[in-house]
Amino acid sequence: MAEVSYTEENIRSLEWHEHIRLRPGMYIGKMGDGSTADDGIYILIKEVIDNSIDEFVMGNGRNIDISIKDNIVKIRDYGRGIPLGKMIDAVSKMNTGGKYDSKAFKKSVGLNGVGTKAVNAMSSFFCVESIRDGKLKRAEFERGILSKEFDVEESSLRKGTRIYFQPDADLFKTYKFRTEYVERLLWNYVYLNRGLTINFNGTKYYSENGLKDLLDKNLSAEPLYPIIHLEGEDIEVAITHTNAYGEEYYSFVNGQYTTQGGTHQGAFRESYIKTIRDHFGKNFEPVDIRSGIVAAISVKVMEPVFESQTKTKLGSTEIAPDGLSIRAFVNDFLVKYLDNFLHKNPEVADKVLKRILQSERERKELSGIKQLARKRAKEVSIHNKKLRDCRVHFNDKHEKADLSTLFITEGDSASGSITKARDVSSQAVFSLKGKPLNSYGLTKKIVYENEEFNLLQAALNIEDGLDDLRYNQVVLATDADVDGMHIRLLLITFFLQFFPELVKNGHLYVLETPLFRVRNKKETVYCYSEEEKRNAQEKLTGKIEITRFKGLGEISPDEFKNFINRDIRLEPVVIGNDSSIDELLAFYMGKNTPTRQEFIIENLKVEKDFVEDEV
């Protein structure tokens, strides 16, 4: 092996913005196109808003104005404003910022003073304005490089900070902001900061009751009792139960939504079990106590330690500066306040007990079936290739863990194409055998009795919740025809019926594949709609060949590589707040009604398109 030279010429110092642009994932996580809630373009928004929230927490400014138009984000707060003489340094010089001074920012969201600088470096255009003491300072940047610095001028505007930015299309390919993800982010901010008003594109976001409002807005089924809402110094909790399966949690630290939980969420789950056991004087199984729980917890911590720059999982074990452990802090609060609440509200305690006993009965009824189902799943996995697994999984401590994907497909030809084209390190394939069962209205017993559902559950490793979920992205890869749409609907029904948290936590997607291939001798264009096909026909010259893909199996593995790797298009399955999961399933998968029949007739576009194409 030839020796590689290593001299002074190999040592290079990067400018601050070069380092961020070279390793953007270190600062904002996934460099996605906006199809997932944790994609980098939303982290950029969050990093700027976090600074405005810190101002609000410190008692400065009760409003934040936000707009997004043509991929340009504008954020204006009414806080103290960045000190004018340090404004440019604050957004463009590493290791510079007010977050290092705990007197100026206590229990802040932002931590490392890096966030706004990362936004600056990753934006094709970035503008910052600070208004304070009757003066305004403005500066503009391009990809982190100062392009214009304006003189300080007199101003009658209200004090505060304004930031405009446009994510750089060179870093974020074909991205777009999805309103539902931005709205979810903003709602969480106002739930955690009562008294704060956020105005976004003409809509007002405000919460009177904090975490109680959060649960009210996000419940996917009817609560079995009124939401328990408890508050203490630096901690707030909201709890209820439904008849849905699984557990659902919303956890926050200093106003930051920790989507992957952490020590505070773990402490809540443990402490809730202890409190319930002590209250009823019975050693119930943890799974029975927490089955159907929907809860939210928010804590405020001095100098929190997160497991990544994107702050999605708390790693702190102590609440600085007194050294009290988070576990003890949460436990002391629940033991006192939740136990007192249950004593004062025996009707609620009775409903909690009934839900536990119901879960206990169901678990015992399923115990024998579960053992047989696990044995069967193990036998099938050995002798059958239904699951073609990958090497890296979501529960691994690996840099590619977030990329772990399971494609669920139907038919040998489709699964064969995806299997040959996939990235074996992070992409797995699960092959269905025909259409799955309509599981609407069935009990969880069917998950173990039905071989397809049993094997799918085992592949995902979600029998006892999402703690050990093996794939970050679960992708429905079916044909874009009527049969394919039906399979998607049946699979979505399965997940909503038995594992709703998988959908609500943003793990379920639909793979978009091209409907047409338009090409001439020099160029090939893949089109995902009739409009894209027409545009391609106008663009390409000479003799044009148009191919209609009627199924995934017609796309060669070489072509498929583009559609499931670099140029992958994923449509997230998002459940809105307009109706509960129970109502959605009843409408789409229940008995036919005149309203449903009318809806189906009006939405037969897929069927019509295919018929017209055949003619």
pTM equals 0.80
Please indicate, yes or no, if residue 2 is contained in any of the structural domains.
no
Q: Buried (b) or exposed (e) across 587-604, using 16+ Cβ within 10 A?
A: eebeeeeeeeeeeeeeee
| Predicted confidence (pLDDT) at residue 107 exceeds the cutoff of 80 | no
Instruction: Give the mean pLDDT of 318-340.
Output: 83
Please indicate, yes or no, if residue 367 is contained in any of the structural domains.
no
Please indicate, yes or no, if residue 228 is contained in any of the structural domains.
yes
| Residue 275 and residue 177 share a domain | no
Region of residue 369 (phi > 0: left; psi between -120 and 50: alpha; otherwise: beta)? alpha
Final residue before a domain boundary, out of 163, 179, 205: 205
| Residue 430 and residue 334 share a domain | no
Please indicate, yes or no, if residue 325 is contained in any of the structural domains.
yes
pLDDT in tens, 485-522: 889 999 999 999 999 889 988 899 999 888 899 999 99
pLDDT in tens, 137-153: 999 999 999 999 999 99
| Predicted confidence (pLDDT) at residue 610 exceeds the cutoff of 60 | no
The rounded distance, in Å, linking the Cα atoms of 585 and 4 is 62
Which residues have a Cβ under 8 Å from the Cβ of 541 and sit 6 or more positions away?
Answer: 520
Instruction: Give the mean pLDDT of 533-543.
Output: 90
Please indicate, yes or no, if residue 84 is contained in any of the structural domains.
yes
Domain count of the fold of the chain: 4
The rounded distance, in Å, linking the Cα atoms of 457 and 403 is 20
Residue 73 confidence (pLDDT): 97
Instruction: Give the mean pLDDT of 261-289.
Output: 94
Please indicate, yes or no, if residue 275 is contained in any of the structural domains.
yes
**Helix, coil or strand: residue 451:** helix
Name the helix (H) or strand (E) containing 394: none
Please indicate, yes or no, if residue 158 is contained in any of the structural domains.
yes
The rounded distance, in Å, linking the Cα atoms of 111 and 128 is 20
Please indicate, yes or no, if residue 378 is contained in any of the structural domains.
no
Orientation of helix 605-614 relative to helix 482-498, angle to 10°: 160
Residue 552's nearest CA partner among 604, 494, 475, 490 is 475
| Residue 431 and residue 408 share a domain | yes
The rounded distance, in Å, linking the Cα atoms of 567 and 212 is 41
| Residue 431 and residue 351 share a domain | no
Which residue matches tokens 């980098």? 40
For residue 223, with 0-12 CB atoms within 10 Å meaning exposed, 13-18 middle and 19 or more buried, which class applies? middle
Cβ pair 47, 119 in contact under 8 A: yes
Lowest mean pLDDT among 19-23, 37-41, 295-299, 535-539: 19-23
CATH number at residue 497: 3.40.50.670
For residue 343, with 0-12 CB atoms within 10 Å meaning exposed, 13-18 middle and 19 or more buried, which class applies? exposed
The rounded distance, in Å, linking the Cα atoms of 471 and 220 is 23
Which residue matches tokens 């090939």? 524
Residue 152's nearest CA partner among 135, 134, 140, 164 is 135
* Two tokens, residue 426: 């992070």
| Predicted confidence (pLDDT) at residue 385 exceeds the cutoff of 90 | no
| Residue 111 and residue 33 share a domain | yes
| Predicted confidence (pLDDT) at residue 321 exceeds the cutoff of 50 | no
| Residue 561 and residue 526 share a domain | no
Residue 103 confidence (pLDDT): 46
* Two tokens, residue 299: 């804590």
Q: What is the 3-state secondary structure (H, E, C) of 500-552?
A: HHHHHCCCEEEEECCCEEEECCCCEEEECCHHHHHHHHHHCCCCCEEEECCCH
> What is the chain's mean pLDDT, rounded?
86
The rounded distance, in Å, linking the Cα atoms of 588 and 607 is 17
Residue 615 confidence (pLDDT): 30
CATH number at residue 156: 3.30.565.10
The rounded distance, in Å, linking the Cα atoms of 136 and 478 is 55
Which residue matches tokens 């409903």? 351
Residue 109's nearest CA partner among 259, 250, 298, 300 is 300
What angle (nearest 5°) sits at the alpha carbon of residue 542, between those of residues 539 and 544?
A: 75
| Residue 525 and residue 445 share a domain | no
* Two tokens, residue 145: 């490089």
| Residue 523 and residue 507 share a domain | no
* Two tokens, residue 196: 């704060």
| Residue 260 and residue 240 share a domain | yes
Residue 129 confidence (pLDDT): 97
CA within 13 Å, CB half, 12: 6
pLDDT in tens, 348-364: 999 999 999 999 999 99
Cβ pair 293, 239 in contact under 8 A: yes
**Helix, coil or strand: residue 64:** strand
| Predicted confidence (pLDDT) at residue 383 exceeds the cutoff of 60 | no
Instruction: Give the mean pLDDT of 116-131.
Output: 95
| Predicted confidence (pLDDT) at residue 111 exceeds the cutoff of 50 | no
* Two tokens, residue 14: 């990067």
Provide the domain limits for residue 429.
384-513+551-614
Phi, psi of 78 (to 5 degrees): -125, 40
Final residue before a domain boundary, out of 205, 237, 262: 205
The rounded distance, in Å, linking the Cα atoms of 119 and 149 is 18
What angle (nearest 5°) sits at the alpha carbon of residue 466, between those of residues 463 and 472?
A: 120
| Predicted confidence (pLDDT) at residue 113 exceeds the cutoff of 80 | no
The rounded distance, in Å, linking the Cα atoms of 204 and 419 is 47
| Residue 474 and residue 428 share a domain | yes
Confidence category of residue 600, pLDDT binned at 50, 70, 90? low
| Residue 190 and residue 55 share a domain | yes
- Provide the percentage of residues in the chain whose pLDDT is more than 70: 86
Confidence category of residue 84, pLDDT binned at 50, 70, 90? very high
| Residue 215 and residue 173 share a domain | no
Instruction: Give the mean pLDDT of 535-551.
Output: 89
